């Protein structure tokens, strides 16, 4: 079964999840006001997974699926940088060995640098650990 079908099957089994789907795109709403949107887009054999403005591209379907699901858990968070109300940087952090580790960042090149800087942390907390145990080994350093 393709990952897109696996994702849809998993999402349909969890009533707390609110998601939208199109042909090759799925988006899950934040778990609450302190969460972030998780999305996946599939174009031929290329997969893009995003958490709000952060995104990562994958060639491997299983890695993309694992990253998508990981963003729904409380083991993942976004460190979001703002200038005024303008968000310009999203850093994905993963919890491993009791510490938050940086996975990667997405940054906009142009932003209003003169405005006051603010950093906020966003984190989802969907109850999906039992459903995903056999699906994902993401992120790669989690079990180091």
Residue 143 has pLDDT above 60, yes or no: no
What is the per-residue pLDDT for 138? Answer: 57
Question: 136, 69 in Cβ contact below 8 A?
Answer: yes
139 prior amide bond cis, ω within 30: yes
Instruction: Please count the structural domains in the chain.
Output: 1
Q: How far is CA 74 from CA 14, 67, 109, in A?
A: 16, 13, 29
Q: 85-141: per-residue pLDDT in tens?
A: 899 999 999 988 889 999 899 998 898 888 999 999 999 988 776 665 555 555 554
pLDDT tens across 3-32, in order?
Answer: 677 788 888 888 888 899 888 899 999 989
Note whether residue 85 is domain-resident: yes
- Supply the pTM of this predicted model: 0.85
Tell me if residue 119 falls in helix, strand or coil: strand
Q: Is residue 44 part of a domain?
A: yes
Q: What is the dihedral of CA 70, 34, 125, 6, to 10 degrees?
A: -50
Residue 84 within any structural domain of the chain: yes
Q: How far is CA 134 from CA 37, 38, 42, 52, in A?
A: 23, 20, 22, 26
Residue 142 lies in a domain: no
Quick one: pLDDT band at residue 144, thresholds 50, 70, 90? very low
Residue 140 lies in a domain: no
The domain of 32 spans: 3-128
Calculate mean pLDDT across residues 30-36: 94
Residue 144 in domain: no
Look at residue 130 in the predicted model and tell me its pLDDT: 61
Give CA–CA dist 134/74, Å, rounded: 17
Any domain includes 89: yes
143 is a domain residue:
no
59-85 pLDDT tens trace? 988 888 888 888 998 889 999 999 988
Specify the pLDDT at position 3. Answer: 63
What is the spatial distance between Cα 42 and Cα 123, in angstroms, rounded to a whole number?
24
């Amino acid at each position: 079964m393709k990952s897109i079908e696996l994702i849809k099957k998993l999402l349909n089994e969890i009533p707390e999840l609110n998601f939208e789907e199109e042909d090759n795109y799925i988006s899950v709403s934040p778990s609450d006001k302190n969460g972030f949107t998780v999305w996946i887009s599939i174009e031929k054999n290329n997969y893009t997974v995003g958490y709000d403005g952060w995104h990562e591209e994958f060639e491997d379907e299983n890695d993309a699926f694992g990253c998508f699901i990981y963003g729904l858990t409380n083991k993942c968070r976004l460190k979001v940088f703002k200038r005024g109300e303008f968000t310009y940087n999203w850093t994905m952090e993963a919890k491993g060995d009791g510490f938050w580790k940086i996975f990667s960042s997405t940054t906009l090149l142009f932003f209003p640098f003169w405005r006051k800087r603010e950093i906020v942390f966003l984190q989802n907390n969907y109850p999906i650990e039992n459903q995903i145990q056999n699906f994902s080994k993401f992120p790669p350093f989690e079990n180091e």
